[in-house]
Structure 1
C-alpha cells in the first residue's frame, strides 16, 4: 500500500524548508504527498472561491521552485484547501486520509517555551494519529545522524521501532540520562566514587543487553550506539544537542504537551535540528 505524507502549508517563507523536506521524503519513500492549506471559514463565499484558486496556484509554484532548487523529482502530489481551525483540520485530514506522517514547519517564536502550548504545531502533536515531523532546517542533505533519547519505556521503544522502520539506513544514537543517588552530597569521597563507577558500569552492561534484545526483535537494523550521560533528562539532551546536534531528533510524545512535557516544549522553542515526535503506542 502506498504511503501518504500530509504537509500543512501556510504559504510563509519560513514554511519553505518544511515543504522541501516533505517533497524529499515523499520521493525517497515512494509516498504520495498531500498538501493542504487551511482557510478562514468566516471569509465571504465569493472571496473564498477566488482565494482557493490563488492558494493552490501559489503552492504549485512553490513546489516547482523547490524541485528546481533542490533537484528533486516530483512525487505524486495532491493539493487542496479546506476551511476551519488549522489544527483541527490537519488532524481531521490525517485521520480521513490515513496518512503515515504529518509534516509541519517549526514553531516560530524561538526561545519562548511558554508560548508553544497554544500553537498549531503543539495542538497537532497532542492529537495526531501518526508521527509528526517539525522541520526547521533546509532539505539540502539527507538525515544521516539520528538521536533518540531512550528511557526504555513503552513510548521510547515504540519511537525506536518507528525510527528504524522509516529510516533504516541511518546512524542511530540512543541517549540515556542517568543519575546516582548521593552524588551531590558524597561525590568527592573516594569510596563513593568507586561505588558510583561500579554502578555506572553495571548500568551500561544492563542497558547494552536491553538494546541487544530490542534489536533482535527487528530485521535489518543499522548499527546503534548507546551513550550514557549523567544528569536530568532535559539537561542531558539539551547539552548533547548544543554540543553535537544530529540531523534528526526522534522523540516519543505522551500526548501531554502544554501540561507536563517540559522536554518537548523546550525542544520546540529551541530547535537545534528537525524533530520527529511519535505517539506513545
Structure 2
C-alpha cells in the first residue's frame, strides 16, 4: 500500500478516520491525501467559496495535527458531488485504498438511494475502508466474508493489502433455504435427520473454504456461521472477535451502481467493527 485517500466530513467521525489513516500510513510507509468535499455551493459566489475553502482547510489542518501523522498529509478541499469528487481524486492519485466514516442517511432520498458512504462504496474503483471504531491499534484479526465468487478473491486480496500481519479467517454464512426446510418438515423428516443434513452442508462449506485457502496460498482459518449472511456477519462484527470484516460488493455494472448489495448495506449501517469493501479484483 503506497497511497491512501481519506475522505472526511469534519462534522462526522473525522477524528477516528484520520487516526486510522495515520496508523496505516506509519505501518505501510504510505503517502496520505485528506479530502473534504463541500456540497451545494454556487461556484459564482467567489468570495463565499474562498471563505469556505479557507475555513475548511483550517479545520482539516487542526484535525490532521491531532491525528499524529508521522508525515504531514496533503490537503484537498473541493466543491461538488462528494462521491464523484472522491472517485476522481482516487484515480488521479492512483490511490490503493479510500478511507471514510460510516456516514448516516439524513434525508428521505438518502434513505432510499443511499448515503454518501453508500455511493462511494458502490462506485469506487479501489477498496474502501469504512472506519467505525475509535481504536487506531494495528489490525490483528480480519474476517473475509466468502461467497466463493471472484468478489471473494477481491476481498481477500484487499485484506492482505490492508493488514498483512493480521490473522485472517475465511467466513461463510450458511442457512438451509426456508422452502427446503419446509419441504423436509412436510415429508416427515426427523429433527435429528434434519440436523444431520445441516451439519453435512456445513462440513461441505468448510471443505470449500479450505480449498479456497489452498488455491490462494493463505493459511487462513475456515469458519462457517449458521444463519442468513447479513444477520450472521452483523453478529460477528459485534462479537469483539474481529477488528475488520472484508467483503466484496456487486460488480461495477449499472445495476450494482444503482443498488448496494443488501448484505454490504446492512453491514454499513449496523456493523460493530470496521469494514473493508472491495468491488473487483485488482491486477
TM range (shorter): 0.7 to 0.9
**Alpha-carbon shift at residue 109 of structure 1 (Å):** 5.1
**Alpha-carbon shift at residue 195 of structure 1 (Å):** 4.8
Gaps of at least 5 residues in structure 2 are none
Task: Look up the match of 1:32.
Answer: 31
Q: SS of the counterpart of 1:243? A: coil
Task: Look up the match of 2:150.
Answer: 154
Mark the CA change 1:100 to 1:195 in structure 2 (over 3 Å): closer, same or farther.
Answer: closer
Distance in 2 of aligned mates of 1:149 and 1:127: 20
Q: SS of the counterpart of 2:216? A: helix
Q: SS of the counterpart of 2:91? A: helix
Distance in 1 of aligned mates of 2:265 and 2:205: 29
Distance in 2 of aligned mates of 1:103 and 1:38: 14
Q: SS of the counterpart of 1:50? A: helix
Report the more deviating stretch, 199-208 or 84-93.
199-208
Mark the CA change 1:208 to 1:259 in structure 2 (over 3 Å): closer, same or farther.
Answer: same
Task: Look up the match of 2:264.
Answer: 264
Distance in 1 of aligned mates of 2:17 and 2:36: 14
Mark the CA change 1:274 to 1:257 in structure 2 (over 3 Å): closer, same or farther.
Answer: farther
Task: Look up the match of 1:10.
Answer: 9
**Alpha-carbon shift at residue 6 of structure 1 (Å):** 0.9
Q: Quick one: which of 163, 166, 174 aligns to 1:170?
A: 166
- Contact 1:4–1:33, Cα closer than 8 Å, also in 2: yes
- Contact 1:8–1:36, Cα closer than 8 Å, also in 2: yes
Distance in 2 of aligned mates of 1:23 and 1:59: 14
After TM superposition, the structure 1 = structure 2 runs for residues 239-250 of structure 1, keeping only pairs within 5 Å, are: 239-250=235-246
**Alpha-carbon shift at residue 193 of structure 1 (Å):** 4.0
| 2:280 is aligned with 1:280 | yes
Mark the CA change 1:206 to 1:193 in structure 2 (over 3 Å): closer, same or farther.
Answer: same
Gaps of at least 5 residues in structure 1 are 68-72, 216-220
After TM superposition, the structure 1 = structure 2 runs for residues 48-59 of structure 1, keeping only pairs within 5 Å, are: 48-59=49-60
Q: SS of the counterpart of 2:58? A: helix
Distance in 2 of aligned mates of 1:235 and 1:250: 15
Report the more deviating stretch, 232-241 or 85-94.
232-241
- Contact 1:149–1:156, Cα closer than 8 Å, also in 2: yes
- Contact 1:178–1:232, Cα closer than 8 Å, also in 2: yes
- Contact 1:245–1:273, Cα closer than 8 Å, also in 2: no
| 2:89 is aligned with 1:88 | no
After TM superposition, the structure 1 = structure 2 runs for residues 1-281 of structure 1, keeping only pairs within 5 Å, are: 3-40=2-39, 41-42=41-42, 44-67=45-68, 73-108=69-104, 115=111, 117-180=113-176, 182-184=180-182, 185-186=184-185, 188-215=190-217, 221=218, 223-255=219-251, 256=256, 259=259, 261-281=261-281
**RMSD across aligned positions (CA):** 2.5
- Contact 1:257–1:264, Cα closer than 8 Å, also in 2: no
Distance in 2 of aligned mates of 1:275 and 1:116: 22
Q: SS of the counterpart of 2:10? A: coil
**Alpha-carbon shift at residue 20 of structure 1 (Å):** 1.4
- Contact 1:155–1:279, Cα closer than 8 Å, also in 2: yes
Mark the CA change 1:46 to 1:251 in structure 2 (over 3 Å): closer, same or farther.
Answer: same
**Alpha-carbon shift at residue 263 of structure 1 (Å):** 0.7
Mark the CA change 1:75 to 1:195 in structure 2 (over 3 Å): closer, same or farther.
Answer: same
TM-score normalised by structure 1 residue count? 0.84
Distance in 1 of aligned mates of 2:12 and 2:208: 47
